Structures are given as structure tokens and as C-alpha cells.
Chains A and B, each alone.
Chain A
Amino acid sequence: MAFINTTTFSQPNANALLEKVDENMASENRISESTMIIHGRRDSRTITARTWSVGTEKSFTEYLSPAREQGTKMLKLEDQLWIYSPSTDRTIQISGHMLRQSVMGSDLSYEDMMDTRKLTDVYDARLEGEETIGGRPTWVVHLQARVDDIAYHSRKIWIDTERYVPLKEELFAKSGQLLKQTTFSEVKQIDGRWFPTAMRFKDMLKQGDGTEFIITSIQFNQDIPEHMFTKAVLRR
């Protein structure tokens, strides 16, 4: 009996765990440079980009390479998204079902980047157990949607028990079919917080090695001018 009690008390609350993860992953604002490697069936493409973001509401991304994508800019304000293409010199708004399209042919959709709601607001979290991922002990948190208008009915997140960063996430369909998997690695301490700097997104229904996302540099809580998040900046 005493053993059971000890075990129960040592397990943290799932929502509290998610809050702790949020403290590491979220920031007032950030400026980052990243490399996205999209592994196709025959070859791989590497795209580099610089991103300025404020919370989860505002973000501005400028693609730096390859030459074909260079100068392409993407602005996200709340639930609206615009893309500027230098080859056509036109800005288009991605809306409705276009949001379900893949970003630059990767395993990510625009919509994956658009949901700004906090996980604890839309999912009921439940601690499922403990597992070891890549030699690190993790808590396994199961999330079950409590709202209807949500893309993934349930999720599973493996959270590092010491650093409070996600090391793996799985997204499930209503039927329970695993749809997407994200693995996080290269966890580094940046500005006093632990942060995974490499991620691999994989559409589990498709063949291939998925999409790698590597953050080459990141700065938190910088002074970002407000004009970075206006439509005028797209054509600049």
C-alpha cells in the first residue's frame, strides 16, 4: 500500500507537465535561422530560412536558399497567412482548404503551423507512464481532444523528465491510426532554457524519411520592430 502511494505521489500532473514544457518552448518572441531538409522518394531538398516570431500569433519567414525559393516570404498574423513569391511579384493569401497543402513539399502543412491554441485548452491530458527515449527518461502524456474543431483527435507526447522538453510526439486519427510522428533531438541549453534544435517530421502513412528541421541559430526575447509583421514587408 505504501509503495502504491509513493508511486502516485511521484507522478506529476499531466497539465502541469505541459505548462512546464510551454515554459521551455514558448517565448515572448524569437529570431531563428533554420534548415529544412525534405527527403523525397528520389532525392532530398534543403531549404534555409530566417524567422521572426512573436508568441504563436505573429511570424514572418524569409526563405534564403535554394535559389528557386530565395526571396519567398511568408507572413502569419493570427489565423491569416500570406505568401509572397518574388518570381511572380505577387502576394497571395493562403486560406480555406489551401491551408491543408504541404509547405514547400515537406511533411508539414500550413495548417500545422497555424493552430495557435494551447494544447491544454483543447486537449484533456493524462499521464500514461514512463519510457526511455534515446537514453533519456520521459513521461508519456496522452492528449484527448475535448473540442470538435481540431485536426488531430488525440496525441501522445514524450516529455523529458529532467529537462521538460518534448522528445517525441505522435498525432492520431479518430480511428486511432497513427498519422504523424515528430522526434526532437539536439536538446541544448539556450538562454537558461532547454530547447530541441533538431526535429524530424514524418507522415506515417507515406514512405520516405520525412522532413528534418534544424535550428542553426535562435535568439529569444529580442527587440523586433512591429513593422516586421505588416504586409508591406513582404514586397520589400
Chain B
Amino acid sequence: MKLAIKLAYRNLIGAGLRTWLNVLVLSFSFVIIIWLNGVMKGWDYQAKNDMTHYEIGAGQYWHQDYDPFDPFTLAESHAPVPAAFKKEIDNGNMIAILKVQGSIFPQGRMLPVVLRGIDPKQGILKIPTHQLDTVTDAIPAIIGGMMAQSAKLKKGDRVIIRWRDDNGTFDATEILISEIFSSNVPSAEANQVYLSMKTLQDMMLLPEHATILTFADAHEPRPDISGWVHKPRHVLTKQVDDMIKTKTAGQSIMYGILLLLAMLAIFDTQVLSIFRRQKEIGTYVALGYTRKEVVMLFTVEGSMHAVLAAMAATIYGLPFLLWQAKVGWTMPIDTSQFGMAIAQTLYPVYTVGLVLTTVLLVTLTTAVVSYLPSRKIAKMNPTEALRGKLQ
């Protein structure tokens, strides 16, 4: 085997430009596969991290009638906070959020919004709710960057909101935008206006009512509470998982094509080698090599492309991948309209598993592709091979 590797290495280096072209194409596959998978992993990490910090915490309880995709359910999807959670809320490990429909009128335009009541003193979500404690003549409110962009609002602006209380009576008042936050989580930002929980409950005539309960501790046993549905973190992030799965499937077509090109080149090289090096094969057999050993020699030679490609990829790919992890990849289109948690700039995350899997996948594929044409050697007549006769 050692000899086979030595011979294979010499043969490969001896082939010159042909080897290096193959190695270059294969090394591209390495770098692209690792980079794209890294971007996907980075997105997965960023999306779930941002969702945890700005929207879902470690999990939630939803009112049984609450449907985030149907704003019409908001009017009925609230109830008094269950007594079982009072202690957890008092300890700051759970926050109650009330969501109701309303309208905002920036520059005389009417925009439907969801008014969210949240405790200004909460510490579970990174939303700067302490700004809701500001004392002003208008009700202090916080909005996300996406909402600020669509409503053309900035910090310090005053705008009228209109809502209907629990009896259906219209009410309207002025709010002051006391802070604008940025989270990359559209569901926490788009068309959402955050008010102090107490203020919203008073406005709605719904004291102690909530729509969602977000908790901080995922390990605490979560009992079934009548009228409320427990939503663990993995259920709330399922949309991200599904999207990444779909995107990864789409991307694997790209790697497939890239790998196919590399493998085609290696396959051709192998076929050409076997065709042109019949005398050499005959000599090996004449010197006492079994056919199996000759097949092994050629397979190792082909597979060594992957090893050289991995080395080449390390030389130019490693700095590129590290640089990308630092500066990130900024998407050329506006991601705020995607409707799901995605940052404008994605920072790739590379794991040992990802690198090892990629190396293993490419090396194995290369080995198989190198072996397939080599099988022909086993059928060769050594005498004919020595004479260089075409078989």
C-alpha cells in the first residue's frame, strides 16, 4: 500500500498540468461546499438565536385560539394569565404578552398593526422595553426597524393609533416612538407596536389578560394548562428548519453539478491513463503484481486527486473561508421582505463535522470514480498489455 501511494504520487506529479487542473476543479468543490453549508449553518444559528432573543425565548404558551397567521383571531385569543404561572412571572422567568389589532396613521396613511403589550421591566427578550417607562404626555411605544421603514417613522416621532376596546368601542390616542430596535426577526418587527402591558390592558379593558406567555427556562417541566397550548422552542423554530432544509436541498443540486464536473475530469483522466499506460500495467503484472494490486494502484492514484485538492483548498480556501466568517456574506436583495428571520449579512459557521463530512464525501466519490475505469485492468491480458496492444 505504501508503495502504491508512493507510485501514485509520483505518477500524479509526473502528469503535470492535467493533474493540477483536476485538483483545482476538485478543490473548488471543497471550498464551495464548505462555504455554502457554512452559510446555511450560520443562517440557522443566527435565525434561531435572534428568534430566541427577540420573540420566542426558550418556548411559549399560546392562548388556544391564537393563530399568528390570522389577525382576526386576536380579538378572541386572550385570557387572564393562569395562576400557575404567576410565580414564574413574578420571578422574571416568564413574560406575558397581549396582542390586539389596531391601526396606526403615519402621515395620514392607515396601516393595520398589532399592538403588543409587554412588561417594561422584562429581561427575557432583548427588546429595549425599558424605554416604555419613559414619562411623556403621549404613550411611549417601541417599534422595530422594519416597521419604522415601512411606516417612515423615526425615534421621537408622534403618531396616532386607533384601536377598539373589548366592547368594540373605538379609541385613539397619540404615541411617541421612544425607541427603534433591530432584530432580523420580521414577526417581532413588521407591523408590530410595543406598548407597556399595563397601558394596553387598560386601553383594551382587559386587565390581567395575555395572548402569549414566553418563558426563559426550557428545562423546567411544562404542565398542560387548560386553554393554553405549550409550544416548545423546536416547534416555534420549525419554519426556519423547513426553510433551511429546502434551501439545502436546492443547494445540493449546485454541489452535485460541481462535483459531477470534477468527477468527469477524474474519470476521463483515469480512462486515458489506463489506455495510455498499458505497457506499464503489463510490466507491473510481469514484475509480480496481482491484477488486484494494479487496480488498487490506479484507484489510489485517482483518489489522490482528492488529497491534493484538499491541500490546495486549504492553501487558498482557508483564508477565504476565515475572511467570510469575519465579514459575512451580505445578500444583494433586501431580506426584510422575506417574512422570516434572516439577517441582511449572514456569517458562515464552519463545524469540524461539516469539514470532515465534506472531505469524506469528496474523497469517497473520487475513489469510486477512480475505481470504476480501473476495473478494466482486471480483464487485461498481461502479454498483450506488455506489447501495448489495444484491448
Closest-CB distance, B297 to chain A (whole angstroms): 73
Using CB atoms, name the residue of chain B closest to A178.
Answer: B172
Using CB atoms, name the residue of chain B closest to A99.
Answer: B168
- How many residues from B make CB contacts under 8 Å with A? 20
Query: Beta-carbon contacts of B155-190 to A below 8 Å, as 1s and 0s?
Result: 000001010110111111100000000000000000
Q: In the complex, are the beta carbons of B110 and A203 less than 8 A apart?
A: yes
Q: In the complex, are the beta carbons of A151 and B165 less than 8 A apart?
A: no
Closest-CB distance, B166 to chain A (whole angstroms): 9
If A173-B162, A177-B160 touch, does A206 touch B109 (CB 8 Å cutoff)? yes
If A173-B170, A179-B170 touch, does A205 touch B160 (CB 8 Å cutoff)? yes
Using CB atoms, name the residue of chain A closest to B161.
Answer: A205
Q: In the complex, are the beta carbons of A174 and B110 less than 8 A apart?
A: no
Using CB atoms, name the residue of chain B closest to A179.
Answer: B170
Q: In the complex, are the beta carbons of B170 and A151 less than 8 A apart?
A: yes
Q: In the complex, are the beta carbons of A205 and B110 less than 8 A apart?
A: yes
Q: In the complex, are the beta carbons of B172 and A179 less than 8 A apart?
A: yes
Residue B72 at the chain A interface, CB threshold 8 Å:
yes
Complex formed: what's the CA distance from A207 to B160 in Å?
13
Using CB atoms, name the residue of chain A closest to B173.
Answer: A175
Complex formed: what's the CA distance from A220 to B107 in Å?
43
Query: Beta-carbon contacts of A81-96 to B below 8 Å, as 1s and 0s?
Result: 0000000000000001
Complex formed: what's the CA distance from A76 to B173 in Å?
33
Residue B254 at the chain A interface, CB threshold 8 Å:
no
Q: In the complex, are the beta carbons of B169 and A152 less than 8 A apart?
A: yes
**Residues 60-110 of B contacting A (Cβ, < 8 Å):** 72, 75, 101, 103, 105, 107-110
Residues of chain B contacted by A205 (CB below 8 angstroms): 103, 105, 108, 110, 160, 162, 172
Complex formed: what's the CA distance from A200 to B344 in Å?
46
If A97-B75, A203-B110 touch, does A149 touch B167 (CB 8 Å cutoff)? yes
Residues of chain A contacted by B168 (CB below 8 angstroms): 149-151
Complex formed: what's the CA distance from A234 to B110 in Å?
32
Selected A-B contacts with CB under 8 Å, 22 pairs: A98-B72, A100-B164, A149-B167, A149-B168, A150-B167, A150-B168, A152-B170, A153-B171, A173-B173, A174-B165, A174-B170, A174-B171, A175-B172, A177-B160, A179-B162, A179-B170, A205-B105, A205-B108, A205-B110, A205-B162, A206-B109, A208-B108
